[in-house]
Structure 1
């Protein structure tokens, strides 16, 4: 098998911010944060990318227009519908459906009657694992993915759905109310046309009397995650209720319901958690799944992509703490939406503040991982080198994202779900120093590449794990020897 050794620009980073060597390393790290666009085989350097993007943009825009015309009373007033290419994801993945896995479009309503559009992804019939060659046997564990805010759309997360589906998972992606191609307004009284009264008292957790409006609120993503779980677990005998669906063509149940393993799993160490489902979220979606893991018994493990959260969450019920209850994987970033120099590494990646002494190695541990570790619940924190808040989204030719952060994130998610949904004793695999990842190159080609963990982890912020291995705790709060 051919592999390529992937090594970012900064191999070993100096630790003293006052030295010229540190300034050079800092500049290189900032350049690496644009690697998805400018790096080796990145969007601007892969000749297959632009032609694939043009074709995918046209097809996705036509598909969305037809979907909206079919539901004229369910308008989606968002960039995901109005801007061509917003939802296209990675065009190099064109051809995945039918060759590496299968996908079905679905529509269902949230509890306020807003129409949510999504997709369910699954392995092919008689499929083999593309990494091991072993035959995949259903039924399979389930995964629900909640997008990030600021108009994150499900198309930006298809990379993860596809990676998981072809390895033996059934996955639901969807757009929360007000984002992507999902409806903007609720249908509060079951009427055909959208309506809400902004002067009425807000529902618990809502910001206004118009539920789900504005879209940028935690409640919107919590409601979306819980309703998506309800739809995912629906069957022909137990229909999803589809509140306020008058005039809309909705799915009564998950079309891949037969493929989902709904047998009660008694091997979990978490009392009451017997359903093989993982919830995954990004950004505000990560906060949402951090909350849902406590209040919804259907999830067995959680993956938070920037950032896992404990304590009081903005928009939560006042005084209610977000408490760790199930194993959690935290994937977090060095930079936020913008790439900033070392002296603005204080606060958080999303809200940088001055830090004259340089980056605090503990910064990414403090948001959620340390809370899980103190609670004695299995957890892992991974901070890729030069990673940004946009690493987890596929966006064409704009905004910073590292070259290999998404590849590393997908690898850890696959290993994590294998451990907690398929119950594989894979501690050694999780802690390996080298991984193989199948990366799309375009024209239906997926190329195996080798990811060297120690080269691709942050040299500024701790990556860590706290695992129970056959009843024996294994803890390393500084995987890459950052100094915390």
Structure 2
């Protein structure tokens, strides 16, 4: 949606309003050290957490359908899902979006000219429009203020003063080229760093849509690996033998994550295994090892994933658990993942295999049904088994922000959380009020709550869901990956328990819950964070 005027946008907004009126929606520990995060039988000191009293308006939580109060609450809640679209009418945003879209298209054309093998046999399916988002146009541009070359705090200031970012291309296990970047803070000296791999969602979700998270993690002291899975963005559409990725072949979201972990852990002495096996497939310059390998702490690796990528991190953390499958990675004898964050949503063993992705995307039964025929689920994914601390987020409205017209079971989003909790592995699950599935991959024209409330100094600031997602994501990794003396170690627990700031934004339909122990031995077990303040 490049440069649309308010008048041109009106039909799409009216369509959304009409759909909202016509459609009906039935919606969908033991603590551990940063280096050893498997659950144990050690019981921490039982000192229950009691948060400071906060004032929450729980009238919407307590309203029932049908009632005038629930209608009022629900209409206001659904309205949040159009906030981002309205904000993007800002002329400053439109101008930057158009400019960055042009730059992205020019980059793709230049890459093809400099290395024609991206579009010639044995490459299969690559073109200016495939994989989807290859050109980085329209919604695929993401936040247009977060690119190198943009004069602003998330643009040139970040890339020249705060971070070192090195583009990389490496082969996956099928010899498809994976395009990505390795990020790290500039001012780290010779210290080793914890690392986080970000796994995209499927279809339209190219890596630029997750640079909000990459930048936040770099600023918090992490090395970060971002990329496009096979079949998406700037990576190959398919392997040289024609095996595709994306939704057609969901294995890339767990096999690919295992490859990513191997690449992150690779060094000159232990090069990336698939580089030697696939070398010569293309004339493209590829990397044999992580360019920042000297600063990686291989004992402190986490992963965050969105949508199908949330399924990916849920599956991959399971490798090595007694009731799952052995670790398949090639550079570590055991599974090196120590913590995960699942952006919509944490996987569950009890979810039927054929419906796993649709349940990850949207908890609405009605919304799920049309998607089943469009999405291909891998049948050989490892059984999900809670092994490492997991933070899950679940959106309220999935892809289709239309009002709920029934009383919602408050624990409907807690399937994965309950499995982690029963296994005595630290867990936290959050549903943000007025959120959609696309709050985690913000881009122009995608329905989401506010993420560019204001434009200051050529950067988007403020918003509703994204600041909250960022806060808890960084705090969770800080809690389970940081060591004493590192930024974020000392106050990670306090940030995870900051109900006074964030509980107001939690869903009034669905419970947000947590079960973990703080570093000082307090046991935190809250089945419904908002309602826990009902009598305080």
Q: Which residue of 1 aligns with 2:278?
A: 244
Give the conservation status (yes or no) of the 8 Å contact 1:121–1:165. yes
Deviation at 1:476, TM superposition (A): 0.4
Q: Using CA pairs below 8 Å that are at least 6 residues apart, which structure has the higher relative contact order? A: 2
CA distance in 1, matches of 2:144, 2:308: 25
SS at match of 1:277: strand
**Aligned pairs for 1:46-445 within 5 A:** 47-75=91-119, 76=126, 77-82=130-135, 84-93=137-146, 94-95=155-156, 96-125=158-187, 138-187=191-240, 195-196=241-242, 211-213=243-245, 215-241=247-273, 242=275, 243-246=277-280, 247=282, 248-262=284-298, 275-295=299-319, 296=327, 297-311=335-349, 313-314=353-354, 315=377, 321-343=383-405, 356=406, 358-366=407-415, 368-402=416-450, 403-423=463-483, 424=489, 426-434=492-500
For residues 482 and 359 of structure 1, the distance between their equivalents in structure 2, rounded to whole angstroms, comes to 18
Q: Report what 1:476 is aligned to.
A: 526
TM-score with structure 2 length normalisation? 0.70
Deviates more, 1:280-289 or 1:395-404: 395-404
- Taking the aligned partners of 1:225 and 1:319, their CA distance within structure 2 comes to 12
**Deviation of the 1:319 alpha carbon:** 9.7
Does residue 467 of the first structure (1) align with residue 516 of the second (2)?
A: yes
- Cα distance in 2, alignment partners of residues 70 and 238 from structure 1: 30
Distance (Å, rounded) in 2 between the aligned partners of 1:328 and 1:213: 26
1:43 matched to 2:96: no
CA contact (8 A) 1:74 1:115 kept: no
Cα offsets for 1:382-408 (capped at 9, x unmatched): 111101100000211333345411110
Deviates more, 1:332-341 or 1:245-254: 245-254
User: 1-side partners of 2:70 and 2:211: how far apart?
Assistant: 37
Structure 1 residue 92: Cα displacement: 2.5
Q: Which runs of 5+ in 2 are unaligned?
A: 1-56, 120-125, 147-154, 320-326, 328-334, 355-376, 451-462, 484-488
Judge conservation of contact 1:109–1:116 (CA < 8 Å) in 2.
Answer: yes
SS of 2:509's equivalent in the other structure is coil
Q: CA shift at 1:31, angstroms?
A: 0.7
Q: Partners of 1:71 and 1:106 in 2: how far apart? A: 15
Asked if the contact 1:10–1:29 (Cα under 8 Å) also holds between the matched residues in 2, the reply is no
CA distance in 2, matches of 1:302, 1:102: 24
Deviations 1:229-284 (A, max 9, x none): 1111111222113242422210111112222223xxxxxxxxxxxx2000111001
**How far 1:30 sits from its partner (Å)?**
0.8
Give the helix-richer structure, 1 or 2: 2
Cα distance in 2 for partners of 1:404, 1:213 equals 33
* Conservation of the 8 A alpha-carbon contact between 2:136 and 2:233: no
Q: How far off is 1:456 after superposition?
A: 1.1
RMSD: 2.6
How do 1:4-23 and structure 2 match up within 5 A?
Answer: 12=60, 15-23=63-71
Residues 214 and 226, structure 2, Cα contact 8 Å, conserved in 1: yes
Deviations 1:420-468 (A, max 9, x none): 000435322211135xxxxxxxxxxxxxxxxx31221111111111002
Distance 1:342-1:317 versus aligned 2 partners, 3 A rule: closer
Q: Per-residue deviation at 1:58?
A: 1.8
- Does the Cα contact within 8 Å between 1:466 and 1:474 map onto a contact in 2? yes
Would you say the 8 A contact 2:315–2:381 is kept in 1? Answer: no
CA 10–180 in structure 1, closer or farther in 2 if over 3 Å, else same: farther
Change (3 A) 1:118 1:409: same
